[in-house]
Structure 1
Amino acid sequence: MSALDDPLLLRKVLTAFAARLDGKTAAASVFRRKRAIFHNSLEFAVEARRLDVNPLPQVQWSLPKTVEQVDPGSVVNPRQARQLLDAVGEQGDRGKHLRAFFGCLYHAGLRPGEAVWLRRENCELPLEGWGALYLDGSRPRVGSSWTDSGTAHDQRGLKWRPEKEVRHVPIPPVLVTMLREHLETYGTAPDGRLFRTTRGGLVQESGYGEVWARARMAAFGPAPQPHRLGARPYDLRHACVSMWLNSGVDPVEAARRAGHTVAVLLKVYAKCLHGATAMANARIDEALKNWG
């Protein structure tokens, strides 16, 4: 531990954090995360009296800026979202089972880990009108090496929220119908989960990612250049929150439904839908005509 008092050694550590295994520069978010973990480890060393002070602030190293805004080129509009969800349902039995899973990401703004842990008791599904989801936890996949239980999915509460807090998310009739049909067809796992593998386990990212990739190909076809539109299932959540904001939903309400603070929401998610630029231009043209 005493070797960490050497600023030059710490600089070598930070240099290593900034590089990938293939020698290329790591993403800024990766570097910041590694540095934060290292900083917390040194703080614990001070607490355990293995170091007198945290030596990391002595190193003059500027943290790289991270890109925190959603890429507008990845956000689908409602018509494209319907295309994708329909294409998911056409990907065999697994696709039919996962259609409502992806529907939760798009129509309710759920994170994948929240949808993985969605249970029947979390769902209010009336015969008509809007329903609601009452989210009380998440099961993100982090790898068995990083969980206390040794399982691939971590057991967590809602992101950035106190333990056992419940988030209420109203859901539109289209998602209510989708979830009711899913329950009638597939039922639930023994613990009440809506979505599961063929063996009853937690839905795996590798499994639904494969279905998503095939659905994108079916919906959009091969692209002549890198195709960012809806590249990841998480982009459905971005599309959902962006649609709420562009539809005039109050940012405070949109942030509450998405499980964010208003500051984070406006900084990260307040992006135009794909194709919404033309709509904005038309509104500006109309305003100029009215004042002409």
Structure 2
Amino acid sequence: MAGLGLRKGEMLGLRVGDFLDDRVRLRRQVIRVKGAVLGPLKHRRKGVWRDIPLATHLSDAVGEHVARYGTGPDGALFQTMTGTLVATSNYSYAFRKVVNTLGYKWSPHDLRRWFASTALSNGLPLLDVSRWLGYKSITETADTYGHLTADATGRAVMVMDAALI
């Protein structure tokens, strides 16, 4: 989740075929808490997807996960012991149990926030980050994370100085 900025349901809906060379093509999410089922992405119609850059390290980790645990019959990366979809509530419970054992107070959504914060504070464009996160509008992303974007004043001065010479 941290390396892609995914929502819980989006991560639980991943399939091996979603991993392309340098990106993940996100196509579906787990949408019901009890009796999990797949559905369209938030703010998207059925059949519409979004692409998210895939770091090499994360791609390698997914390969290791598949080698160790295999996949479901439809290529699902995550499934229960009985081969069904993992409900978001069950994932949240397991996540909290692990991080509490480690002494942290993180929620699954904190990993999504980390992705956004890391991308924006390192100068990646707000519009791109907003699209990767699947926000309905860039305004929502700017309102939530705008304070993390690099101050462009110094760059603007250099650009204008160079252009006006």
Q: Same fold (TM over 0.5)?
A: yes
1:31-83 CA-partner distances (Å, limit 9, x unpaired): xxxxxxxxxxxxxxxxxxxxxxxxxxxxxxxxxxxxxxxxxxxxxxxxxxxxx
Q: 2:28 aligns with which of 137, 149, 155?
A: 137
Q: Distance in 2 between matches of 1:238 and 1:195?
A: 22
Q: Is the 8 A contact 1:242 1:270 kept in 2?
A: no
Identity, % of aligned pairs? 28
State the secondary structure of the residue aligned to 1:188: coil
Aligned counterparts, 1:37-56, within 5 A: none
Which residue in the other structure is 1:239 paired with? 114
Q: TM-score w.r.t. structure 2 length?
A: 0.80
- AA aligned to 1:137 is R
1:192-243 CA-partner distances (Å, limit 9, x unpaired): 111111111111234322332232223336xxxxxxx42x212211111121
- AA aligned to 1:168 is D
Q: 2:13 aligns with which of 98, 103, 117?
A: 117
State the secondary structure of the residue aligned to 2:3: helix
Which residue in the other structure is 1:250 paired with? 125
Structure 2: 5+ residue stretches without partners: 152-165
State the secondary structure of the residue aligned to 2:143: helix
State the secondary structure of the residue aligned to 2:52: strand
Q: TM-score w.r.t. structure 1 length?
A: 0.47
Structure 1: 5+ residue stretches without partners: 1-104, 126-130, 144-151, 222-228, 273-279, 281-292
State the secondary structure of the residue aligned to 1:162: coil
Q: Is the 8 A contact 2:3 2:58 kept in 1?
A: yes
Paired residues, what number? 148
Which residue in the other structure is 2:155 paired with? none
1:90-114 CA-partner distances (Å, limit 9, x unpaired): xxxxxxxxxxxxxxx1000111111
- AA aligned to 1:259 is G
Q: Which has the higher contact order (CA 8 A, sep 6+)?
A: 2
1:109-168 CA-partner distances (Å, limit 9, x unpaired): 11111111111111125xxxxx3110111112244xxxxxxxx23432111123211211
Shift of 1:269: 3.6
Q: Is the 8 A contact 2:15 2:77 kept in 1?
A: yes
**Which of the two has higher C-alpha Rg?**
1
- State yes or no: 1:173 paired with 2:56: yes
Q: Is the 8 A contact 2:5 2:112 kept in 1?
A: yes
